[in-house]
Amino acid sequence: MGGYGDVQCIDENGIRLDGRTVGEIRPISIEVGVVPVADGSARMRWGLNDVIAAVYGPMEAHPRKIQRQDRAVLDVRYNMAPFSTTDRIRPGFNRRSREISKVTAEALESVVLTELYPRSKIRVEIEIICAEAGTRCAGITAASVALAHAGIPMSDMVVSVASGKVHDIVVCDLNKEEDNYGEADLPMGILPNSGELVFLQMDGDLSPEQFQEAWDYNMGAVSVIHEHMVAALKGGEA
């Protein structure tokens, strides 16, 4: 993890800068159909994160060399809008967004029934309009909802959430300060119906006990996030 500073992210009563307790996630809202020209789309607001995901396809896969005879390929792009962060981001792909696109594609390919659409392509576009921390998790979650909204058959949706450590205390769903000044970050992609994983990353420093605690926080957050996803698809609020 990056910065070290004297920012106090948790007070003596265990209350975080944004008023949450250590095990609490940020407020979430999800709506579908936000990109009217797409086959499926979703917008997820998670804390200050504002993420739009759109799905196009299944469609013809071109160039030909990317086609797979036995399944569809997922063409996933994660991108941060230039005005999504405090310092402007220069437009265009960078190493970070390429890696996130890759692991996101692999997470989603694990649940999409790609064998139903041989030789085709499904495009998944994830745009971060406003970033707070945890944009990759919000991106994967929003993309799952957009895929479902597009009617793409899946074995399950993916709920993605990160927990981590700040001032040697394990907390659920890191905010910006905790991400900047914290000591560890553990994002996971979990299938709500089976508890299986399709996405896992970690960086920082966690003891075995802390690791377990962070893991359990992520697992514990799945059902409430999943409720929001289902409610959005059913056309209501969770």
Partner 1 sequence: MGIPLVPKLLRAHLAELAENDSRHDGRGRFEGRDLELEIDCLERAEGSARVRMGDTIVYAGVKFQIMTPYPDRPNEGGLMCSAEVRPVAGRGWEPGPPSPESIELGRVVDRGIRESGCINVEELCLIPGEKAWQVILDLFAISDDGNLFDAFALAGIAALKSAVLPAERYEIGEDRPLGVAKTPVMCSYHKVGGRFVYDADKREELGGDERIHITLGDDDHVHSLQKGLKGIFTAAEFDEIMVEARSKCAELRSLLDQKLAGE
Which positions lie near partner 1, rule CB under 8 A?
34-38, 48, 50, 52, 54, 56, 59, 77, 79, 81-88, 91-92, 123, 125, 127, 129-131
Phi and psi at residue 171, in whole multiples of 5°?
Answer: -130, 155
Q: Say if residues 76 and 101 touch (Cβ distance below 8 Å).
A: yes
Which of 184, 179, 174, 187 lies closest to 209, judged by CA? 184
Least distance CB 85 / partner 1 (angstroms): 6
CB-wise, 51 or 214, nearer to partner 1?
A: 51
Least distance CB 132 / partner 1 (angstroms): 8
Least distance CB 169 / partner 1 (angstroms): 26
d(CA 170, CA 14): 11
Least distance CB 189 / partner 1 (angstroms): 21
CB-wise, 38 or 172, nearer to partner 1?
A: 38
Geometric angle at alpha carbon 140, from 135 and 143, rounded to 5°: 115
Least distance CB 153 / partner 1 (angstroms): 21
> 3-class SS at 232?
helix
CB-wise, 137 or 186, nearer to partner 1?
A: 137
Geometric angle at alpha carbon 230, from 226 and 235, rounded to 5°: 145
d(CA 156, CA 149): 13
d(CA 234, CA 232): 5
CB-wise, 19 or 91, nearer to partner 1?
A: 91
CB-wise, 39 or 173, nearer to partner 1?
A: 39
